[in-house]
Structure 1
């Protein structure tokens, strides 16, 4: 008799990126061939709808067995409740229980890149299995940089400011130096680059986050520098201050630098080739060159439903190892047709992709890999683990938009944002910490 495992994976909004999620589809097909007594069946759900879709399925009595959540919804997954009020998901490390293999599949979670493992751990316990890892990079039009005599990619904010000034002096050069999105993840990385926390409880890593710090000196320092870049003409505020509008401005050569995700590195190569310029990339600039900008990560991870029958749980756990074996760990980095490139998740994948005979899928791949693997092992670098993170991010980005486009004073505006975000978190925690606890209403996903 075949045991069915219901696996829900994320897809891009409105399926705008065909092939998104294919590495997991290929891994499921491979697992089913190797274990004919199991049938891993996949359902695709738009990434921003996954938390509420899971909650609806629980209410209807047909929840999935394994679910892929985006990185910013990790705390939401942990606070989602099953029909009996117990946690919907069991921490992966607890379910594995020290085993070294499951149904003949070697347990590979101990081989996770340490910084990746720490991002998906709470209190030192691994709660989910990563399925994709990304970071933000600084991409550049090397053709313009060569014309300007810029031989080194900027490392610090000061370097980037100086490089933009040099580009501005070019005759017939880009109208602006740089753009990047007004997006929560960028703030998280810039805080990590200063060793600063977004919340108490060690960023929610040593205890539940109950306070937010949107008006910290480090946050205000970043916001003020950003505004200075705008006022000097170096920063281009694109439509909606969005990732893709920044990338489009870069492709039109309106800017020489752009910050975007390593996940779209291959897309950036295609855009540069079509526009007729050479692409290069470096690590995300930070205020101090001695600090690492490596954390926190972006990407997705897989959660295991609690209370499954042993046969089904073992099959699900075996699949979670299978999708990270050597073949699939490397394939998700270079699988043809996949629009989103993962960075190495396991040490085996890291060793393979840093070997001399490895061909990088895009310029900056090794910089991105180094940025992730060299991140400081601190709560700041691990990133925030906090309820309703996307709601908090929206408050944060609205404050920055007011500073950039409406001349709001940074300290006052971010103080008001802190108060608003605190109300969101208090509401969320009231549900998660009630007795009996319930799934919070705020299930926004990034």
Structure 2
């Protein structure tokens, strides 16, 4: 019942490692009111389409400061890499054996940095200089302040982005993350977190904990978490219900959260399909369900991953803020990453 791309991410050697919970994917939010004013009827789907849309947006008399933005978090580089079916590390992204070296500096990775650099040099890309976790808030500020027309972001904030647009008089449309038209689209990675059982529990405690995990992620709870946030409904049964007549969102007293309706309200909503009323929320699920499962789209498994991600975000920063060559910068980042990975593997050698 768990969506295939989600299940594949948490599977190693044919076994589930943990229980998926708050799963997301990288998508794009567009200020469609602004795009339409520029003559762009639908959100762009490829990198080239983004550039074409930005040319129109920035030509308006009342053009925003910039056109497009994204958080400089390693996850987004990894997403664009996976779309091109590019592995982040060797040994099939560490899924056929322990990763001993990175491969993110290949053609696919260079293409990502070159595109971002081109966008920045044309004045289309807003980059605050923030890296990692601190970069998310700068994107929020730019999009909510209508300083940009489009933002790559996590689907986890679909409710926030959609509702903020409504409250401020502009339409927000969610769409799949734009991809490199030169290579085509293979798929996207998941994000979010999962729930783990610790080893060494007594049988009684382990059974109780497992029962709680299954309850926490059951069909109904997956729907409620999805509606409140934008994290995807991880079960196909949840998606099927939300595509059934009579299921739709209700805004509770605080005007923010979206929850289940009581039976009377459900009956009153007959003929309405929740995703029909809330199309932004299905985008990430569709993107993942249509992804081809490969080592690239399953995601990398490797040691020292947080530190290695920092080398990538630093490389993006260098490319955008200097005149250095993207390929050379990424090669230098890969060299540092390989040193860190080698040290990790030496200190954590298998017994």
Aligned to 1:19: none
Compared CA separation, residues 303 and 274, structure 1 to 2 (3 A): same
Aligned to 2:256: none
Aligned to 2:289: 373
| Alpha-carbon separation, structure 1, partners of 2:53 and 2:205 | 56
Which residues in structure 2 correspond to 1:219-234 (within 5 Å)? Answer: 219-234=109-124
Structure 1 residue 233: deviation in Å?
A: 0.8
Partners of 1:294 and 1:371 within 8 A in 2: yes
Aligned to 1:143: 33
Aligned to 1:203: 93
Partners of 1:189 and 1:293 within 8 A in 2: no
Partners of 1:188 and 1:384 within 8 A in 2: no
Q: Which ranges of structure 1 fall in alignment gaps of 5 or more residues?
A: 1-110, 436-446
Which residues in structure 2 correspond to 1:326-337 (within 5 Å)? Answer: 326-335=219-228
Is 1:341 the counterpart of 2:230? The answer is: yes
Which residues in structure 2 correspond to 1:279-428 (within 5 Å)? Answer: 279-288=172-181, 291-292=184-185, 294-335=187-228, 340-356=229-245, 357-360=272-275, 363-428=279-344
Aligned to 1:188: 78
Partners of 2:187 and 2:293 within 8 A in 1: no
| Alpha-carbon separation, structure 2, partners of 1:153 and 1:369 | 18
Partners of 1:283 and 1:293 within 8 A in 2: no
- Alignment partner of 1:364: what SS? helix
Partners of 1:344 and 1:353 within 8 A in 2: no
Structure 1 residue 429: deviation in Å?
A: 1.8
Give the aligned CA root-mean-square deviation in angstroms: 1.8
Partners of 2:243 and 2:273 within 8 A in 1: yes
The structure 1 residue matched to 2:107, chosen from 204, 217, 220, is: 217
Structure 1 residue 407: deviation in Å?
A: 2.2
Structure 1 residue 363: deviation in Å?
A: 5.0
Q: How far does the alpha carbon of each residue in 1:304-332 deviate from its partner, in whole angstroms, 9 at most, with x for none?
A: 11121111111111211121222212121
Which is further off, 271-280 or 167-176? 271-280
- Alignment partner of 2:180: what SS? coil
- Number of paired residues? 321
Structure 1 residue 425: deviation in Å?
A: 1.2
Structure 1 residue 175: deviation in Å?
A: 2.1
- Alignment partner of 1:375: what SS? coil
The structure 2 residue matched to 1:160, chosen from 50, 74, 93, is: 50
- Alignment partner of 1:259: what SS? strand
Aligned to 2:127: 237
- Alignment partner of 2:284: what SS? helix
| Alpha-carbon separation, structure 1, partners of 2:243 and 2:180 | 28
Partners of 1:285 and 1:293 within 8 A in 2: no
| Alpha-carbon separation, structure 2, partners of 1:225 and 1:289 | 12
| Alpha-carbon separation, structure 1, partners of 2:119 and 2:183 | 22
Partners of 2:32 and 2:42 within 8 A in 1: no
Structure 1 residue 403: deviation in Å?
A: 0.7
Structure 1 residue 290: deviation in Å?
A: 8.1
Give the structure-2-normalised TM-score: 0.87
Q: Which ranges of structure 2 fall in alignment gaps of 5 or more residues?
A: 246-271
Aligned to 1:430: 346
- Alignment partner of 1:300: what SS? strand
Structure 1 residue 347: deviation in Å?
A: 1.7
